[in-house]
């Protein structure tokens, strides 16, 4: 499909979009086409801003692969963790209005809030909820959020924090988490006197004219033009987790639940890049707070090699770094078969946004790099395929270094008659109960509050593991039993060392609490 180039009226009183130079337009269009074709994406929407003006908008593909409805600039995508910046902005608006302070204790708003360490509970401030400095391990407790749908509530998540043992010291190191953004959304609701979803509409969407964005519970049929998530299966893009009649106000909304169109995201970016577009929406003090380096982050070799990065830190819902000597503010989002990426170069009043409704991790990386380098290092002239090649070489090197799923002995289904006393109901203090019980002639593991986590117990060389139904082999886990009698425990351990960190099996410790029903 040919790109859609639009002249959009953005916010009341603002200028219309303008066309990029012929050379720039050709470069941007080629980059989007390369990403779309090379990574065989089902759909993509991309926008570029230069000096505060939208200079390029391009879309490709379909809302649902094979159904013929084309993606356009009004199509809704999951922005996933790019929601975090909006949650932070809601809190900043409340600080600006005098409804809370960044250094307020969390317990001022949520008296039942508890961390594992009572000292951390007392000293956790609102600001700490946003900057991944809690001492929790990477992705701790994420199994209460994903896979979706599940039966955990926001109250369950907040209560579960008290049982998650820290992996490090409070405020000592960076480790990305999602649960504390759920807490941040509830703090906002208490301070603002309205549910989180209402606050986002009131404080973000309405004043910035982000009319297509959706948060909370809503109807896809009523809204229309909603991209669906896809996964690669046998060389094809296959829909997975298609929306039902109603999208629920699920618990992780404040961490990654907003959906927006490309038009909306460009409005969001322009408001952030140029305070004059929406006078008074966010004052200089709060803008500075959002983009202050609050928590240092480790700098990976790729950033050093590609961008000459010297500093990397987390602000309030944003990653802050330098790229070719220029200030960069950015974030990515990954959720249920959709990928997003948003990057700003504030000193240039420029940036780009990418929305993808398929498996697009490498696609967003290579494409964003090409789009930004056009502005930070134009002499390099590298296109998407150049960066795609670098990523492929990285992966090949990791494989040669022994990363990836290890070789396993042939698998056989564990027979129920051979499973013995380990059959039964097991419980973890934050995740709840799972059953290891007979189904037919075999044994199935089922998580009571997370029904998507259901699978057959298999054995390889006498070692039991769970083969999930619908989650894919990347999520599979060994079952490790230890101890005797009342001290008998069950732990899960990822088979693939490169498993997504949201499968935080390492934080689980089950004890047997009863027989199979």
Cβ contact 188:90 at 8 Å: yes
First to last CA, the chain: 55
| Contact assessment for residue 81 and residue 70, using Cβ atoms and an 8 Å cutoff | no
Which tokens belong to 442?
């075999």
pLDDT tens, 56-67?
999 999 999 999
pTM for the structure as a whole? 0.94
Q: Give the chain's mean pLDDT.
A: 94
Which residue(s) pair with 294 in the sheet? none
| Residue range 172-184, pLDDT digits in tens | 999 999 999 999 9
Could you identify the residue written with the tokens 């991944």? 132
SS3 77: strand
Query: From start to end of 312-389, where are the E strands?
Result: 312-314, 319-323, 326-335, 338-345, 350-356
Residue length of the chain? 517
DSSP assigned state of 89: H
CB atoms within 10 A of CB 141: 24
Question: In whole angstroms, what is the distance from residue 229 CA to residue 449 CA?
Answer: 23
Using an 8 Å Cβ cutoff, are 514 and 424 in contact?
A: yes
Which residues, including other chains, have CB under 8 Å from residue 392's CB and lie 6 or more apart? none
**Per-position b or e across 359-375, b if 16+ CB within 10 A of its CB:** bbebbbbbbbbbbbbbb
Q: Where are the extended beta strands (E) located within 346-417?
A: 350-356, 411-413
Query: What pairs with residue 240 in β-bridges?
Result: none
Residue with the two structure tokens 């994903």: 146
- Helix H or strand E encompassing 153: none
For residue 18, the model assigns a pLDDT of 63
Cα–chain-centroid distance for residue 62? 22
Instruction: Enumerate the β-bridge partners of residue 249.
Output: none
pLDDT of residue 13: 33
Which pLDDT does position 20 carry in this prediction? 67
Cis geometry, peptide bond prior to residue 149 (ω within 30 degrees of 0): yes
Residue carrying structure tokens 């229309």 = 224
Q: CA 41: distance to chain centroid? A: 19
Per-residue pLDDT of the chain (517 residues; tens, 9 = 90+): 333 333 333 333 333 456 667 888 999 999 999 999 999 999 999 999 999 999 999 999 999 999 999 999 999 999 999 999 999 999 999 999 999 999 999 999 999 999 999 999 999 999 999 999 999 999 999 999 999 889 999 999 999 999 999 999 999 999 999 999 999 999 999 999 999 999 999 999 999 999 999 999 999 999 999 999 999 999 999 998 899 999 999 999 999 999 999 999 999 999 999 999 999 999 999 999 999 999 999 999 999 999 999 999 999 999 999 999 999 999 999 998 999 999 999 999 999 999 999 999 999 999 999 999 999 999 988 999 999 999 999 999 988 887 778 889 999 999 999 898 999 999 999 999 999 999 999 999 999 999 999 999 999 999 999 999 988 888 999 999 999 988 999 999 999 988 999 999 999 999 999 999 8
* 224's tokens: 């229309």
């Amino acid at each position: 499909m040919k790109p859609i180039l639009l002249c959009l009226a953005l916010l009341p009183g603002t200028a219309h979009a303008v066309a990029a130079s012929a050379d720039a337009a050709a470069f941007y269009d080629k980059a989007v086409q390369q990403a779309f074709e090379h990574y065989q994406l089902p759909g993509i929407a991309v926008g570029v801003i230069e000096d505060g003006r939208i200079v390029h908008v391009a879309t490709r593909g379909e809302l649902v692969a094979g159904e013929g409805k084309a993606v356009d600039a009004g199509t809704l995508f999951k922005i996933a963790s790019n929601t975090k910046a909006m949650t932070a902005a809601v809190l900043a608006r409340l600080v600006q209005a005098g409804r809370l302070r960044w250094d307020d204790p969390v317990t001022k708003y949520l008296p039942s809030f508890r961390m594992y360490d009572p000292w951390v509970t007392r000293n956790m401030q609102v600001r700490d909820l946003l900057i991944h400095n809690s001492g929790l391990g990477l992705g701790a407790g994420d199994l209460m959020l994903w896979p979706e749908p599940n039966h955990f509530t926001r109250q369950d998540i907040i209560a579960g924090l008290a049982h998650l043992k820290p992996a490090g010291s409070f405020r000592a190191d960076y480790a990305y988490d999602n649960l504390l953004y759920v807490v941040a959304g509830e703090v906002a609701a208490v301070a603002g006197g309205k549910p989180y979803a209402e606050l986002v509409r009131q404080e973000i969407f309405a004043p910035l004219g982000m009319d297509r964005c959706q948060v909370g519970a809503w109807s896809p049929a009523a809204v229309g033009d909603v991209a669906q998530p896809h996964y690669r299966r046998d060389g094809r893009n296959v829909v997975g987790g298609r929306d039902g009649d109603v999208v629920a106000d699920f618990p992780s909304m404040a961490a990654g639940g907003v959906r927006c169109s490309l038009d909306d995201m460009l409005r969001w970016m322009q408001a952030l890049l140029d305070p004059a577009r929406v006078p008074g929406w966010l004052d200089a003090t709060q803008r500075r707070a959002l983009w202050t380096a609050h928590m240092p982050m480790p700098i990976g070799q790729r950033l050093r090699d590609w961008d000459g990065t010297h500093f990397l830190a987390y602000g309030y819902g944003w990653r802050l770094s330098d790229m070719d000597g220029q200030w960069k503010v950015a974030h990515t989002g990954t959720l249920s078969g959709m990928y997003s990426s948003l990057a700003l170069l504030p000193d240039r009043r420029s940036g780009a946004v990418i929305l993808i409704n398929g498996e697009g991790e490498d696609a967003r990386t290579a494409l964003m790099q090409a789009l930004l380098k056009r502005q930070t290092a134009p002499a390099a002239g590298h296109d998407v395929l150049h960066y795609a090649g670098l990523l492929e070489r990285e992966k090949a090197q990791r494989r040669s270094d022994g990363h990836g799923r290890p070789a396993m002995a042939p698998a056989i289904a564990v027979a129920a008659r051979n499973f013995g006393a380990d059959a039964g109901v097991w419980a973890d203090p934050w995740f709840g109960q799972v059953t290891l019980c007979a189904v037919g002639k075999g044994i199935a593991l089922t998580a009571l509050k997370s029904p998507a986590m259901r699978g057959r117990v298999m054995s390889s060389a006498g070692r039991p593991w769970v083969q999930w139904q619908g989650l894919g082999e990347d999520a599979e886990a060994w079952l490790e039993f230890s101890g005797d009698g009342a001290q008998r425990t069950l732990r899960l351990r990822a088979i693939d060392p490169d498993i997504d960190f949201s499968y935080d099996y390492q934080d689980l410790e089950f004890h047997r609490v009863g027989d199979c029903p």
